[in-house]
Amino acid sequence: MRLPDAELPSEEKSYAAPETHPSRVWLERILHDENDVEAWMGLAAAYEGMASEWQSWVSTQTHYLDPVADALARIGSIERAVEIGPGTGEATRLVATRARLVAAVDSSPAMMSRAPVLPNVRWLVGDARSLPIESGWADLVVGLNAVPSFQEINRVCAPAGRVLWANSFGPDTPLYVEPARFVGLLGPEWAGVARRVGFGEWCIAERRQS
């Protein structure tokens, strides 16, 4: 796992204690037990309630998409991507410039009703725990500030596919999974690289060659 020094913008940013954020509390429960239904439901309900303000809040966040843009530049062009938890689709716009087809799956109809219409993106209301995607379909599985089901990521990612997991605020991101932990939770056959960009970071993982 490679994590070079931070490339922080010169602006200041202040944060509340992220470990007490309700989303972080739900996330930690999910990371300890992917079958914790109450945690999954709590998290999904919380974001559904934020849908009306989400886009305007994101528009005030500088460097929000920098980690995704930086990682996608390394990944290059691909055929099929799945994005988990796209919300109102800010990162999806970038993914759609690299992938021929994107399936963007979010549990919140209210979030996705605000997403842009893009010719190569299919917006699917669905659950990260049971993605409406064929096994092995995705050359790339993407999540920005999203909640992972490691079982489902393993199922939908093609054998030679990659996973891009990014956050906008590093450890201060409410839905934060530290890159080495993320790769470990994917499973022992996975290896990853990570990099800090803007206020956030990305991690790209792929299965080791046997």
Residues contributing to the site for ligand SAM (CB under 6 A): 40, 43-44, 47, 58, 85-87, 90-91, 105-108, 111, 127-129, 144-147, 175
CB of 209 to ligand SAM, least distance (A): 31
Give residue number: closest CB to ligand SAM. Answer: 87
Determine if residue 87 is left, alpha or beta; phi over 0 gives left, psi from -120 to 50 gives alpha, anything else beta.
Answer: left
Pairing verdict, β 200-207 and 190-197:
antiparallel
Distances (CA, A) of 53 to 14, 33, 60, 100, 159: 20, 30, 11, 30, 38
Q: Which is nearer to ligand SAM, 129 or 155 (CB)?
A: 129
**Least distance to ligand SAM, CB of residue 200, Å:** 10
Please say which residue, 103 or 207, places its beta carbon nearer to ligand SAM.
103
Burial zone of 29 (CB within 10 Å; 0-12 exposed, 13-18 middle, 19+ buried) = middle
Closest approach of Cβ 78 to ligand SAM, in Å? 19
| Order of all β-strands in the sheet with 157-167 | 121-125, 99-106, 78-84, 138-144, 157-167, 200-207, 190-197
Closer to ligand SAM by CB, 145 or 204: give it: 145
**In this complex, which beta carbon is closest to ligand SAM, that of residue 173 or of residue 207?**
173
**Least distance CB 44 / ligand SAM (angstroms):** 4
Nearer to ligand SAM, 127 or 178 (CB): 127
**In the bound complex, what is the minimum distance in angstroms from residue 159's beta carbon to ligand SAM?**
24
Helix (H, G, I), strand (E, B) or coil at 138: strand
Residues 99, 92: Cα–Cα separation, whole Å: 10
